[in-house]
Structure 1
Amino acid sequence: MASLLSNRGQENLAGLEIPWRFAPPASKRYNKVSNPSGLISFATAENAGVQEELERYVAENVRIPAAAFFYRYSTLGGPLFPAAMASFMNEHFNPFIPVEGNQILVASGITGILNMLAFSLGDPGDAVLVSSPIYGRFELDFSNEARLRIVYARMEGLDSFEEGVVERFEEAIKEAEASGTRIKALMISNPSNPLGICYPRETLRKIMAFCQNHRIHLISDEVYGLSVFDTGNPDAMSFTSVLSFDTTGLIDDELLHVLYGMSKDFGAAGLRLGCLITRSVPVYRACTAIGRFHNPSGPSIAIGTAILEDRAFHTSFLARCRSRLSNAYKVTTGALEKANIPYRKGGNAGLFVYVNLSAWLPDAGMSGQDREFALAQHLVDHGVFLHPGEEHCEEAGWFRLAFASLGDEELTEGLRRLTSALDSLA
């Protein structure tokens, strides 16, 4: 009997069955009162603890106008939000050339932006080049609809923040071309997801020159750009946006694209507001041609615009967010160090730490992936969830631990469960 689904539909359906691909549903999650035996999940990078403040601000300061119920108010961001975001970025991202509202395209989240970029920059079978480890869901963002692939450059022990990373990219692009795969773009996450480290300025310069030399697009995901906090480490790298460069003679405007939104720094993932910042008119227009599938809602645009236009509020709000992240990071790393659990040092950004649980992996006779799956199941049996293999680290045993997604009590309990689960394997 013929399938009721297209080949695409069947492939996407099969993707739902990939082991450990998705975080546990809300019905299985921990709640101190209603579900104390539920799972505590460190899988989702959300900036918790600020939503009640956002709720109060919106209730007291935001009016949803009647116009917000028309299409035109929010189509591709509407007339107000892009201008407010441009002003915000000009203040906080230090662009060499000020960003203008007509260079910002708004969609229902960065996932939607990546989907539009995938359709606009490549054809099925083309690829996007990345280093590892990196956020694993980029695979879905580029492949589920547009059918672009992700090519992971082999780092072989090299730190992806070193200037020598471009040599690994050179090797990867040659191998891809030799196999008949066209690399259409290189993507970085700055600050890094999952490492929480910012790219040095000179490495960014080298990466831009590499993209210019190969005439491929550079997509810089800077959604954690203002979630850089104090860790007490004076050597921690500060955030540098690619927008801050004088790109004359370095990379053409047509090849440089930045992603930002309100999901991480603002703790407002539910607003579903993601932005593409680009000076490339062809890329901008190609994305607008399919933007009707990804438009944000009018109420979200009204709320987001109000927050961005209220400089006093968002300045103090972001400072409080950074203070909370700093405290949660210190609680998390303190617990990890007390339990002798290694983690990637040097991080000072984002909502997570990258922990090395390789010492607790089971029988070395299994594949690296199966060993991670087995350890993940052991953690679930002890009431805590970490995604195995999600960031495509070349060494087995590394897991992203999203500490900012939990309140203080839940974070403490989750770290206790993690430590207890690993102690039981000693």
Structure 2
Amino acid sequence: MLSKKVTCKSHGQESSYFIGWQEYEKNPYDPRANPSGIIQLGLAENQVCFDKMESWIRKNQENNWFGTVGASSFRDLALFQDYHGLPQYKYEVAKYMSEIRQKRVIIDSDNLVLTAGATAANEILMFCLAGPGDAFLIPTPYYPGLDRDLRWRTGVEIIPVQTSSENGFRITGRALEDAADVARKLGLKVKGLFLTNPSNPLGTTLSEDELDLIIKFSSGAGIHIVSDEIYAGTVFDSPRFVSTLEAVARASPGGDSAIWRRVHVVSSLSKDLGLPGFRLGLIYSRNAAVVDAATKMSSFGLISSQSQFLLSRILADSRFLRRYAAENRRRLKRRRAALAAGLGRSGVRCLSSNAGLFCWVDLRRVLPAATFEAEMDLWKKMIYEYGVNVSPGSSCHCTEPGWFRVCFANTSEETMLLAVDRIRALVEDNHDFLMGIN
């Protein structure tokens, strides 16, 4: 006999998002060993400046890293078990978060909780803020993994806040109210609003008007705001990134109003520094009870002391970080432009974006019918016949068939451009087919 948790279907593993990964792993592209294999453009991973990170490691390896001076000793690191984290790492990551936000908000390390990645951070916050019978509102389209992260083990329900391509998928007051009404009709208590800013999968930053609307709505309803800002360091074009913390500071400059105790930010070093394997997540909150409870829960998934030690050294190198950030922005902007230009040669457009590791690509005109069945058929053809994996919009809960998230930073530019050629071939072949039946 197994538990209900083992047999339930709320993990989301059956989503096309995860299935695409599985198909890629069965037949991965390699320019020499498997040139006809599947190219993975369904993974939001940042490798565009990995050479810079590797170079820093080569230049800064020291024989005495694990010497006997202070916290650098091997013994201290090997025996360190305090789930509050290494003080030096917390200091450096708080400073880094402040700099990414252009010091418009100063992050206090005492309000940080360290977690093994943003996935753990998001789940811990759900355990702290809600439970079975409660709901969080989430604007669509959203990252498919949130179905797993937020509700699988917590029992919290997700209620979509529907957005539309008519206004560039921007959040409206009417959409927020409609989502709250849906929750009430289902007998659910709305405990909060969950945001990704910058957006995954849109690659856009929330406008100041949207943030003001969100704060006003949340304050009026007395609910929490969880702002997942793991892509804050990937903003490569205007408009600039405005953190939810900055927007709240503008709305409540005293810093002591109730809204401050209901705003919680999730971040990590996975996307901007390209280090997902180190599992470097965190929660920032000015709610002492949340920080206390989340710190205790983090003991189920700690960041290794060795990872914290290494990253404290990298983050302390301000000169390197400034150069890395500038080059990262430059390369992401160039890579995004190359993807959009390549697809544009076949008349395919991308949503205008300024951040992230992906484009939100409009393939609606390629569908024989405006249905999700037609979208899935096109996605399957893209994988099995043309050898490219991307994420269908339906896996991101988009309400309009024909949108796809296409990642551009997880492979070489040469491989990405080959994938673009394959997608263009699919588009043009489908166009010829549709012209033939009309």
TM-score by length of 2: 0.88
Relative to structure 1, the CA distance from residue 419 to residue 97 in structure 2 (aligned partners, 3 Å threshold; closer, same or farther) is closer
- What are the Cα deviations for residues 184-225 of structure 1, in whole angstroms up to 9, with x where unaligned? 110111111111111111321221121111111101111111
Question: Which stretch has the larger CA shift, 10-19 or 117-126?
Answer: 10-19
Report the secondary structure of 2:404's partner residue. Answer: strand
Indicate the residue corresponding to 1:51 in structure 2.
Answer: 50
Indicate the residue corresponding to 1:409 in structure 2.
Answer: 414
Report the secondary structure of 1:203's partner residue. Answer: helix
Report the secondary structure of 2:33's partner residue. Answer: coil
Q: Hey, what's the Cα distance between the residues in 2 that align with 1:339 and 1:82?
A: 48
1:186 and 2:197 are equivalent in the alignment: no
Indicate the residue corresponding to 2:303 in structure 1.
Answer: 296
Relative to structure 1, the CA distance from residue 169 to residue 17 in structure 2 (aligned partners, 3 Å threshold; closer, same or farther) is closer
1:88 and 2:96 are equivalent in the alignment: yes
Indicate the residue corresponding to 2:364 in structure 1.
Answer: 358
Relative to structure 1, the CA distance from residue 176 to residue 57 in structure 2 (aligned partners, 3 Å threshold; closer, same or farther) is same
Report the secondary structure of 2:266's partner residue. Answer: strand
Q: CA deviation at 1:34?
A: 2.0
- 8 Å CA contact 2:203–2:357 kept in 1: the answer is yes
Q: Which amino acid aligns with 2:241?
A: F
Indicate the residue corresponding to 2:34 in structure 1.
Answer: 35
1:228 and 2:226 are equivalent in the alignment: no
- 8 Å CA contact 1:47–1:264 kept in 2: the answer is yes
Q: Hey, what's the Cα distance between the residues in 2 that align with 1:277 and 1:375?
A: 41
Q: Which amino acid aligns with 1:69?
A: A
Q: Hey, what's the Cα distance between the residues in 2 that align with 1:166 and 1:187?
A: 15
- 8 Å CA contact 1:223–1:260 kept in 2: the answer is yes
Q: CA deviation at 1:77?
A: 3.0
Indicate the residue corresponding to 1:209 in structure 2.
Answer: 216
Indicate the residue corresponding to 2:435 in structure 1.
Answer: none
Relative to structure 1, the CA distance from residue 413 to residue 105 in structure 2 (aligned partners, 3 Å threshold; closer, same or farther) is same
- What are the Cα deviations for residues 96-125 of structure 1, in whole angstroms up to 9, with x where unaligned? 552211111111100000110111111123
Indicate the residue corresponding to 2:388 in structure 1.
Answer: 384
Q: Hey, what's the Cα distance between the residues in 1 that align with 2:267 and 2:286?
A: 15
- What are the Cα deviations for residues 311-370 of structure 1, in whole angstroms up to 9, with x where unaligned? 01111011111111011011111111111012212x111111101112222456xxx332
Indicate the residue corresponding to 2:59 in structure 1.
Answer: 60
Relative to structure 1, the CA distance from residue 139 to residue 13 in structure 2 (aligned partners, 3 Å threshold; closer, same or farther) is closer
The correspondence of residues 131-280 of structure 1 with structure 2, limited to 5 A, is 131-155=139-163, 159=167, 162=170, 165-230=172-237, 236-244=238-246, 245-248=249-252, 252-280=259-287
Question: Which stretch has the larger CA shift, 270-279 or 15-24?
Answer: 15-24
Report the secondary structure of 1:219's partner residue. Answer: strand
Q: Which amino acid aligns with 2:28?
A: R
What's the Cα RMSD here? Answer: 2.1
Q: CA deviation at 1:157?
A: 5.4
Indicate the residue corresponding to 1:330 in structure 2.
Answer: 337
Q: CA deviation at 1:147?
A: 1.8
- What are the Cα deviations for residues 68-106 of structure 1, in whole angstroms up to 9, with x where unaligned? 222436x34322211111112222314555221111111
Report the secondary structure of 1:326's partner residue. Answer: helix
- 8 Å CA contact 1:43–1:385 kept in 2: the answer is yes
Q: Could you list the runs of 5+ residues in structure 2 that have no partner in the other structure? A: 67-71, 432-438
Q: Which amino acid aligns with 1:92?
A: I
Report which of the two has the higher share of helix: 2
- What are the Cα deviations for residues 365-421 of structure 1, in whole angstroms up to 9, with x where unaligned? xxx332222111110111111122221111001000011112111011110111112
Relative to structure 1, the CA distance from residue 20 to residue 293 in structure 2 (aligned partners, 3 Å threshold; closer, same or farther) is same
- 8 Å CA contact 1:76–1:295 kept in 2: the answer is no
Q: CA deviation at 1:140?
A: 0.9
Report the secondary structure of 2:391's partner residue. Answer: coil
Indicate the residue corresponding to 1:233 in structure 2.
Answer: none
Q: Hey, what's the Cα distance between the residues in 1 that align with 2:423 and 2:201?
A: 19
Q: Which amino acid aligns with 2:8?
A: E
- 8 Å CA contact 1:161–1:203 kept in 2: the answer is no
- What are the Cα deviations for residues 254-275 of structure 1, in whole angstroms up to 9, with x where unaligned? 1011111111111111111011
Q: Hey, what's the Cα distance between the residues in 2 that align with 1:183 and 1:14?
A: 21
Query: Number of paired residues?
Result: 412
Report the secondary structure of 2:132's partner residue. Answer: coil
Q: Which amino acid aligns with 2:5?
A: R
Q: CA deviation at 1:301?
A: 0.9
Q: Hey, what's the Cα distance between the residues in 2 that align with 1:375 and 1:273?
A: 36
Q: Which amino acid aligns with 2:87?
A: P
Q: Could you list the runs of 5+ residues in structure 1 that have no partner in the other structure? A: 231-235
Q: CA deviation at 1:155?
A: 2.9
Q: Which amino acid aligns with 1:174?
A: D
1:105 and 2:107 are equivalent in the alignment: no
Q: Hey, what's the Cα distance between the residues in 2 that align with 1:262 and 1:14?
A: 25
Report the secondary structure of 1:151's partner residue. Answer: strand
Q: CA deviation at 1:281?
A: 0.6
Question: Which stretch has the larger CA shift, 397-406 or 125-134?
Answer: 125-134
Q: Hey, what's the Cα distance between the residues in 1 that align with 2:80 and 2:192?
A: 32
Q: Hey, what's the Cα distance between the residues in 2 that align with 1:14 and 1:226?
A: 29
